Every structure is written in structure tokens, then in C-alpha cells.
Amino acid sequence: MKTLNKQQKEIRSAFANFVVGKISEAEARSLGLNINDGKALIPKNIAEEIIGYVEQENILRKYGKVVKVTGNLNYPVLTGDSNIKVDVHSKERDTNAIEVNEIGLTAELLSPVEFDSMSIIKKKFLKLSPVSVSDLIVEVMKKAYLEKEIDYMFNGTNEEALNTGSLFNKAKVFTSAATEPVAIIKEMKNTPSSKVMNRSRWVINKAALKYVEDLILPNGEPVLKTIETTEGGAKYLILGYPADLSDVVKGSTDTGSVFYFGDFSSFVIQENSTGLEVETKYEMAGDYILQNEVGFKLYNLLDGKLVYSEKEPTVFRMEV
């Protein structure tokens, strides 16, 4: 966390004091906090810290496109079909309001929903100093939010947070006729168009890493190469293309080897430009108050979808 100036520390302390109930809504407003229907707009420097952490850990934010939109507005993402008329469908909308234009571009709408995550802290920790409490609250909130956001964007299979545009749901399923592992991986790599291949990379789970780590090409070169780095950790290449390893990548089974390959800049994330809100929950499902716990519910207007033309899929998924 970067060094805070005096004003930022005061706002941080006021934020912590309000969300744990040590000061009233009126006092919080007088100290510069924005309160709306019991939800506190998270101060800019704290929101930046939370989103900064999420951006660092969620590779779809790193490689995709993030757009900031004020309020609950739909953001159209254009795909490059030509001479083809496709009606625009959006599960969240009752009508198809966007028409295909004369040059054949089609549009898919991002429709932000009120996305939330719950963090829980034992009450005994709230007796610390205001600055320590704010640090603790921010730490648990950003980790809880990351876990939910990254699962929503990668998998999107949770009944309470379904995402038809997630990588798992939207990436084009690749099935190989080959049976030999090296041939399967090479065929998948060669499936996208040349334009997509030029911007492509792999995203894999640990099982997939094990699948490729002992594979050898006919010329004696390994399929998987490890790149030396001074940043810590390992960097990988699979058939010359960079590969990111992530535990959040899931398949139909817990042991499946899952490979994504393609251009991840086609994953588009829309979020509210006005920032994040938080609400303190003393009584909810689970009855936190009886367990000497306090819940912090963080809200964000968010959507994240993989968007591509059916004529040129940008990301492929394979499970072995």
C-alpha cells in the first residue's frame, strides 16, 4: 500500500469508524464521506487500492478491455462481421434496440448488474485503532471481491451470479480428432485465424501444466518452456506462445486439464465510473451478530463478457 497523506488517513479512519458503527451517518458526512441509503461510497484512494489489487490478480483485467460508464448504462461492443445481418439479443433486455448498420457491424450489449461480495470480520478485531481497522477491512474486502469477480468472469456458473459471457460459457469449444498429446496441442494452437493468433496466449490450470510439461516435439524441443524472470515465480511458453497459470480456471471436473487459447483483448469489462459502495451487515443469513462477526457487503455495477464474431472466434477452450 502506498504512503498516505494526512487527509487520506483521516478519510480512511472516518470510513472505518462509520462502517463499524463508531460514528453516525451525519458525522461521516461531515468528515467527507458520501452516504446513500445506508451504503457508504468508498473513498477514492481506498477504491483505487481495491481495484488496483483486483487488476493485478485478475488477468482478464490485465489483457482485456475495461470501460468506465456512468450509472447503469448499456455499453455496445462491435464485432467485425461484414455483409451479414444478425439481430442483437441481450438476456437482460426485453427488446433488441440496436440495428446492424449498413457496413455489416453487429453489436453485443454489456449490461451491468449490481455485483456484490461479502467479507466477514470477527468483532474483536474492530477494537483496534481506526487506521488498523481500515487496513483490515480493506484487506478482507479486496480478497473477497477478487474471488467473486474472477470466478464470475472466468466461470460464471454460480446460480447467484450466472454469466453467459464468461470464458467458460462463451469460449469456442475445441475438440481434436487427434489422440497424441503433442498433436492435440498443436492443432488447438493452429485453430484461430492468423489475425487472432498474432495476439494470442494460453491461460491454463495446473492440470494442464502437468499435461504439457513432459511433451517433446519431433525436433527434440519441449512443448513447454520456462522463462527466467527477476520478478519471482515462473513464466511459461507453450509452443512459443506465453501462458498464464491460474487456479481459477475450472473444467467440468476437478481434475480436468483446461486450456484456453486466443486473443483475450476481446474480453470486455464494464464498470461504474462512480466507484464502489459498502454496506455493513450485522444481521443476515448466517446470523453474524450471534457469532460475534460483522459482514461488509461491497457493491459494484459490473459486467464482463467475452465478445467475438461467430465468423472469427477469438478464444478457444479445450478440456482433456
Is 1 domain-assigned?
no
Query: pLDDT tens digits, residue range 191-243?
Result: 999 999 999 999 999 999 999 999 999 999 999 999 877 666 679 999 999 99
Which residues lie across from 243 on neighbouring strands?
202, 236
Could you tell me the three cell numbers for 236?
A: 511459461
CA distance 62 to 58: 7
Claim to verify: residue 119 and residue 184 sit in the same structural domain: no
Question: Is 0.85 surpassed by the pTM of this model?
Answer: no
What are the angstrom distances between the C-alpha of 85 and each of 79, 88, 111, 178, 305? 12, 10, 22, 35, 22
State the Cα–Cα distance between residues 229 and 302, nearest whole angstrom. Answer: 34
Determine, yes or no, domain membership for 281.
Answer: yes
Domain co-membership, 135 together with 14: yes
My answer on whether 216 and 297 are in the same domain is no
| Per-residue pLDDT at 237 | 97
Is 278 a domain residue? yes
Q: Which of 87, 270, 84 is nearest to 165 (CA)?
A: 270
CA-CA distance, 204 to 225, in Å (whole number)? 14
Q: Is residue 103 located within the same domain as residue 231?
A: no
List the domain range (segments joined by +) for residue 233: 168-267+315-319
Domain presence at residue 263: yes
Distance, in Å, from the CA atom of 264 to the CA atom of 246, rounded to the nearest integer, reads 14
pLDDT bin (cut points 50, 70, 90) of residue 263 is very high
Whether residues 53 and 146 fall in one domain: yes
- Per the model's pLDDT, the better-predicted residue between 272 and 129 turns out to be 272
Which three cell numbers mark 105? 457491424
- When divided into structural domains, the chain yields a total of 2
Mean pLDDT of the chain: 81
At residue 266, the pLDDT reads 94
Q: Are residues 136 and 227 in the same domain?
A: no
* CB-count burial class (<10 Å; 0-12, 13-18, 19+) for 222: middle
Q: 301 or 58, which is more confident?
A: 58
Q: Which tens digits make up the pLDDT trace of 279-317?
A: 887 654 454 444 677 788 888 888 899 999 888 999 999
If asked whether residues 145 and 283 sit together in one domain, one would say yes
Is residue 295 a part of any domain in this protein?
yes
